[in-house]
Amino acid sequence: MTQPSVLVIAHRGAKGEAPENTLGAFRLGIEQGCDAIELDVHLSKDGEIIVIHDFTIDRTTDRKGVVHEMTLSELKQADAGRWFSSQYEGERIPTLEEVFDLVPPEVMINVEIKDSYDRKLEPALAELMKRKDRVHNVVVSSFDHKSLLFLKLLLPEAKIGLLYEINPGSHAGLATGFGVPVYSLHPNFKRINREDIRDALSKGIQVYPWTINDEKKMKQAIEKGASGIITDFPGKLRKILTAWSQ
């Protein structure tokens, strides 16, 4: 049997085994054979695109503060690895530009916009994607669909992915009725079934459910035909996919 064509998407890097959204977590995901990396972005006080999940640095660093109220140099003083394990002491909060420089072009990057910051983040992101030649191997997703529309206006070639929590009724319809081309749907895995996935794929829309960490659920998602799986354990998923073909 051939290996199913399912993208292994490392959630915040290899989040299960390394401090989330750090270069260390992205390196580990790549070492474990991921096809793509999912990460979250905010804007610093001085306009840098910062890779971090929360609005504050409290949970994932040794300091406290609101990301958007801090400058890049203030953010860089925080240790973003020690809270996870001493092995990762010295990790810093990365900028998106640093991640673009680290990740080889064949590994796709899924940039999740956490906040638009009054529509200041999208122009900065469009500029960075163009300058770093990352227009074609980046998918930008967000729960804030207006943010994605704005990005498409600024950068029509950008690939956008709709993130959503609830069951929209017709998953494919969410994309086809969006008004601009949608590259991918990013549903909560609990809320999508095989027919929904097939319907989306038949309309040329990729389906990347999140966040699947359990082996049994990974196998279910593969059987349901997901185009990619967002997981904290990319190494585990890679092993399942390799074994599938043997």
Question: Residue 167 binds which one of Mg ion, ligand G3P, none, with CB within 5 to 8 A depending on kind?
Answer: none
Task: Considering the complex, state which of residue 166 and residue 243 has its C-beta at the smaller distance from Mg ion.
Answer: 166
The nearest distance, CB 86 to ligand G3P, in angstroms, is 25
The nearest distance, CB 150 to ligand G3P, in angstroms, is 19
Q: How many helices (H) and strands (E) does the chain have?
A: 9, 9
Task: Say if residues 49 and 112 touch (Cβ distance below 8 Å).
Answer: no
Hey, which residues between 149 and 168 contact ligand G3P (CB under 6 A)?
163
The nearest distance, CB 140 to Mg ion, in angstroms, is 12
What 3-state DSSP class applies to 29? Answer: helix
Residue 226 CB contacts under 8 Å (≥ 6 apart), including other chains: 6, 197, 207, 208, 209
Is there a catalytic annotation at residue 53?
Answer: yes
* 165 burial type by CB count under 10 A (0-12 exposed, 13-18 middle, 19+ buried): exposed
Residues in contact with Mg ion by CB under 5 A are: 40, 112
The nearest distance, CB 246 to ligand G3P, in angstroms, is 30
Is there a catalytic annotation at residue 186?
Answer: no
Catalytic-role residue among 42, 53, 145, 171: 53
User: Is residue 42 close enough to count as binding ligand G3P by CB under 6 A?
Assistant: no
- Round to whole Å and give the CA distance between 153 and 244: 41
| Pick from 41, 224, 4: nearest CA to 142 | 41
- Round to whole Å and give the CA distance between 242 and 73: 43
Task: Considering the complex, state which of residue 161 and residue 235 has its C-beta at the smaller distance from ligand G3P.
Answer: 161
Residue type, position 166, single letter: I
Binds ligand G3P by CB under 6 A, chosen from 230, 237, 240, 241: 230
What 3-state DSSP class applies to 240? Answer: helix
User: Is residue 210 close enough to count as binding ligand G3P by CB under 6 A?
Assistant: yes
| Pick from 171, 229, 177: nearest CA to 201 | 171
Binds ligand G3P by CB under 6 A, chosen from 112, 122, 196, 232: 112
User: Is residue 186 close enough to count as binding ligand G3P by CB under 6 A?
Assistant: yes
Residues carrying an active site annotation: 11, 53
Binding site for ligand G3P (CB under 6 A): 11, 38, 40, 53, 112, 141, 163, 186, 210-211, 230
